[in-house]
Amino acid sequence: MLKVNDLHKTYQVGKTTYEVLKGVSLEIEKGQFVAVMGPSGSGKTTLLNCISCYIPTDAGSICLGGRELAALNEEELAAVRNRELGFVFQDFLLLDGLTVRDNILLPAIIGGSVSRETEQRAEQLCQVFGIEHIREKFPAEISGGEKQRTAVARALINQPLLILADEPTGNLDSKSSRAVIDSFCQAREQMEATIFMVTHDSFAASFCDRVIILRDGQVWRTLERGDRERLAFQDLLLDSVREMGRE
- Tens digit of pLDDT at every position of the chain (247 positions): 899 999 999 998 888 988 999 999 999 999 999 999 999 889 999 999 999 888 889 999 999 998 898 888 888 988 888 889 999 988 888 999 999 999 999 998 888 878 899 999 999 999 988 999 999 999 999 998 899 889 999 999 999 999 999 998 887 888 888 888 998 998 999 889 999 999 999 999 999 999 999 999 999 999 999 999 999 999 999 999 899 888 7
Helix/strand/coil for 166: strand
**Beta carbons within 10 angstroms of residue 68's beta carbon:** 11
Please report the pLDDT score of residue 239 as a whole number: 94
Please report the pLDDT score of residue 59 as a whole number: 94
Q: How far is CA 215 from the centre of its chain?
A: 19
How far is the CA of 200 from the CAs of 20, 169, 171, 221, 227, in angstroms?
18, 9, 12, 15, 23
**pTM above 0.85?**
yes
How far is the CA of 111 from the CAs of 21, 88, 133, in angstroms?
32, 18, 27
Helix (H) or strand (E) run with residue 182 in it: helix 174-191
CB 140 within 8 A of CB 96: yes
How far is the C-alpha of 245 from the C-alpha of 159, rounded, in Å?
Answer: 39
CB 10 within 8 A of CB 58: yes
Strand-pair partners of 64: 2, 67
How far is the C-alpha of 106 from the C-alpha of 96, rounded, in Å?
Answer: 12
How far is the C-alpha of 50 from the C-alpha of 115, rounded, in Å?
Answer: 31
Show the CA angle centred on residue 107, arms to residues 106 and 109, nearest 5°: 60
Judged by phi (left if over 0) then psi (alpha if -120 to 50, else beta), residue 185 lies in alpha
Please report the pLDDT score of residue 98 as a whole number: 95
Give the residue among 92, 76, 82, 156 at the shortest CA–CA distance from 113: 82
Please report the pLDDT score of residue 112 as a whole number: 83
Give the residue among 38, 54, 82, 61 at the shortest CA–CA distance from 215: 38
How far is the C-alpha of 125 from the C-alpha of 132, rounded, in Å?
Answer: 8
144: exposed, middle or buried (C-beta count within 10 Å: 0-12, 13-18, 19+)? middle
143: exposed, middle or buried (C-beta count within 10 Å: 0-12, 13-18, 19+)? middle
